[in-house]
Amino acid sequence: MYFVTADAAVYIAREPVDMRKQIDGLALLVQEVLLLDPFANQLFVFRNRGNDKLKVLVWHDNGFCLLYKRLERGRFSWPRSDENVVQCSLRELQWLLEGLNMEQLPPRAKLSVARV
């Protein structure tokens, strides 16, 4: 997504939502259920009950963008949590979209290198 900056936060809604919801309904969920700002530099990820469809909502300058993905086979590996919303990185979102398990692929630690 060319308009998503590297510092954008990603929030994954834990509970499944009705996939008939479009932009307005999902933005309302972000605001009233997740208690987050739908107009911030953030991506919001929602899934259906069967874990084979997801929607990503993001605000871009003057309007919302909605990404929809449906798997033809298999299911998304959704993160487990007791929280209503899980925060992750753009890299972890990419893993999720590719069908990988975010919990089994921890990101590598950053190194602080001063010399060659």
* Residue 83 placed within a domain: yes
Q: Give residue 46's pLDDT.
A: 96
The count of domains in the chain is: 1
Is the pTM here over 0.85, yes or no? no
* Residue 111 placed within a domain: no
* Residue 116 placed within a domain: no
* Residue 38 placed within a domain: yes
Give Rg (Cα) of the chain. Answer: 15
Q: Which secondary structure element, helix H or strand E, spans residue 94, and what is its range?
A: helix 90-97
Edge-to-edge strands, sheet with 63-70: 63-70, 53-60, 42-47, 9-13, 85-88
End-to-end CA distance of the chain: 34
Q: Give residue 100's pLDDT.
A: 74
Structural contact between residues 13 and 29, judged by C-beta atoms closer than 8 angstroms? yes
* Residue 109 placed within a domain: no
Taking 50 as the pLDDT cut, the residues of the chain under it are none
Q: Give residue 39's pLDDT.
A: 95
